[in-house]
Chains A and B, each alone.
Chain A
Amino acid sequence: MARALINVPQKAKRGEIIEIKTLMSHPMETGFRPGMDGQLIPRDIIEKFVCTYNGEVVFSAQLYPAITANPFISFTTIATDSGTLVFSWTDNKGDTQVQTASIQVE
């Protein structure tokens, strides 16, 4: 399991717009690069990123090879209730990695 760094504020006021930053460790091999043997290195990229907040999808993204290795994605959401944010990254082979973060809303 690759490592992900997630930055979610631990506490927020109800209705506050919070910024979430995510960094997933992944090579994002484009599939356009020849390797040492002259053959193209097969594509290995994260294609889909989804963030759910207490089960509801609040943000998602579709990524292409132009996104850097260790893809960084930052976005915002409204702090509605205390609970769990679930982040998932799915690669082009269909493997999904999941991380969670919790938030306290006052």
Chain B
Amino acid sequence: MNTTRRQFSLLAAGASFALVTPARATPDSMKESIQAFTGGRPVTDGRIKFEISLLVENGNSVPLSVLVDSPMTKDNHVTRIGLFNEKNPMPDVAIFNLTPRSGRAQIATRMRLNDTQFITAIAEMSDGTYFSARSGVIVTMPACVEE
């Protein structure tokens, strides 16, 4: 079959688009990632103070902090804090492992944001329960576009 000029240019455009567009996390793949983190156990809203800017100009470096309400004793402490996103290439952001020696369930870091989206923080307690908080961030210039 002969390829017409129009078909060829369409194909070429499609091919180059496929090359530069990497895989993306979706709200569904974030759910899967959260399921893997919690082992499918129920997650309750609350007990977390999740701070991240509501509007950022540059998605390359967005500071955030998580503070979980917990006495941090041997019997009752936060064991892990997981961060998840919807629209970066990968749904996982980071997992922090805490111990009773942390004293306070508090972490801070900086993340990349590829798009305007919701970020979810999940805390795993030593009794096997899970709590979550989420926050939406509007990004005017996403990460991953600069060389």
Contact = CB atoms under 8 A, between A and B. Distances in A.
A77 interface: yes
A71 B99 CA distance: 21
Given A66-B111, A76-B106, A32 B19 contact: no
Contacts of B36: none
A62 interface: yes
Given A30-B144, A63-B94, A77-B101, A68 B111 contact: yes
Contacts, number: 104
A56 B101 CA distance: 10
Interface residues of B, number: 35
Given A32-B22, A40-B22, A62-B97, 9 more contacts: A30-B112, A66-B111, A67-B110, A67-B111, A69-B60, A72-B110, A73-B108, A74-B108, A77-B103
14 contacts: A17-B103, A32-B23, A32-B89, A57-B99, A59-B99, A61-B94, A64-B90, A64-B93, A68-B60, A68-B61, A68-B112, A72-B109, A73-B107, A74-B107
